[in-house]
Amino acid sequence: MPAKNSVKFYLDNSIYHIYNRGVEKRVIFQDDQDYKVFLSYLKEYLSPTSQGSTLRYRSLQSKYYDEIELLAFCLMPNHFHLIIKQKDRNSIKKFTQSLFTRYSMYFNKRYDRVGALFQGIYKATNAINEDYLLDLTKYIHLNPIKRDKNLTGAYSSYSDYLGLTNTAWLNKHIVMDKFDTNHLIVHKKIKSYKDFVENFKNEPNIDAPNFEL
């Protein structure tokens, strides 16, 4: 029987939670360089082509700019979470295959290893409604809390959601527009996204495993 959430039925114009961890629970981001390389690949794929780029860089830059929107992310030592909106039902498949293969090749070359880096095929769940999407962002932005109480210093989109940074290739507006009008947020009188993540007591009801080391 296939692993839970490993069989994917993608739809056009839909939002998905993409996640996986290192094979045998191994660390896949060993230092700042590894995190920054993975993020640099996201930037290349999701940024519009700029004038003056080399031919090789242009072939990567904007590769998925018109197909994929990254809504939120969190990178942890042994796993990652991405929330992605795709326009075409095949966009995520192409995007993830390229991204994860490229990072695996970088990692194996740097650490002189061979073989798979990730634990099988990545997992995916559909953000079926507004409430679930908001809970997803809360869940991934809280992932680092057991390792570091300073959530804004994590390799995640949380600082963007609080307005502390402005990552050009991240689209937080889809989530934040829903947050500002969400019935639960209004009913509970939650004052801010920070309050929702750090102080709102309800645990997010998310269909994802615990990837703690």
Q: Domain of 92: which CATH number? A: 3.30.70.1290
pLDDT value at residue 51: 47
What stretches of the chain adopt beta strand conformation (E)?
Answer: 14-21, 68-76, 79-86, 123-126
CA distances from 63 to 25, 57, 68, 106, 115 (A): 30, 10, 9, 19, 26
- pLDDT value of position 4: 56
2 in any annotated domain: no
Domain total in the chain: 1
Measured CA to CA, the distance from residue 45 to residue 130 in angstroms comes to 27
Residues of the chain with pLDDT under 50: 1-2, 7, 51-53, 57-58, 61, 213
The DSSP bridge partners found for residue 68 are 86
Instruction: State the pLDDT at residue 104.
Output: 97
- CA-based nearest residue to 118, from 41, 7, 27: 27
pLDDT at site 13: 87
Answer whether residue 6 is part of any domain: no
Quote the tokens at residue 96. 């993830």
pLDDT of residue 1: 37
- Is 189 contained in some domain? no
Considering the entire predicted model, what is its pTM?
0.88
Q: Considering the domain boundaries, does residue 212 fall inside one? A: no
Domain hosting 119: range is 14-129+151-172
On whether residue 199 sits in a domain, the answer given is no
**Residue 142: per-residue pLDDT:** 94
What is the per-residue pLDDT for 52? 46
pLDDT computed for residue 133 by the predictor: 95
Query: ∠143-146-149 over CA atoms, to 5°?
Result: 90
